[in-house]
Amino acid sequence: MQTSERRTALRSPKDIVVAREYARELGSLLGMSSIGATELATAISEVARNALTYGGGGEVVLSQFAEAKRRGIRVTVEDKGPGIADIDLAMKDGYSTGESLGLGLPGARRLVDKFEIVSKVGMGTRVTMTKWAS
């Protein structure tokens, strides 16, 4: 059985493309639908870009994840940047009022099934997303 984890360092925009490719690869291994894989890849793009632009780079880890009878992909995007001072503000969803997406985080959350963000000023930020395969 192939290893079901993929990691990539986030040092340049090209690495975001690599991370998205990994998502597709894992997605098709798990039989994820095309739309699901696209949504996950798009969410990874948004979050990884944040980590690169505001977090000074970091790492993306993708792995297979199972819970009860469901299988899916879990992605963590981590950076050791300045951290987010007001997480609630960063996660505020301006979608319904048509505001433009500043950090892309609320958008990413809409595209995945589970979304967690941990951030500490001066320490960094870690976003964990899960998308089910079915």
| Contact residues for another protein, defined by CB under 8 A | 12-14, 16-17, 20-21, 24, 34-35, 37-39, 41-42, 45-46, 49, 95-98, 101, 104, 107, 110-111
With helix as H, strand as E and coil as C, how does 35-55 read?
A: HHHHHHHHHHHHHHHHHHHCC
* Residue 61 Cβ vs another protein, minimum distance, rounded to whole Å: 19
111 vs 117, beta carbon nearer another protein = 111
Rounded to the nearest whole angstrom, what is the least distance from the CB of residue 44 to another protein in the complex?
9
CB of 19 to another protein, least distance (A): 11
Q: How far is 91 from 89, CA to CA, in rounded Å?
A: 5
Q: What is the DSSP letter of 100?
A: -
Q: Give the nearer residue to another protein in terms of CB position, either 46 or 79.
A: 46
- DSSP 8-state assignment for residue 4: -
Q: What are phi and psi of 55, to 5 degrees?
A: -105, 0
Which CB, 45 or 130, lies closer to another protein? 45
**Type of residue at 67:** E
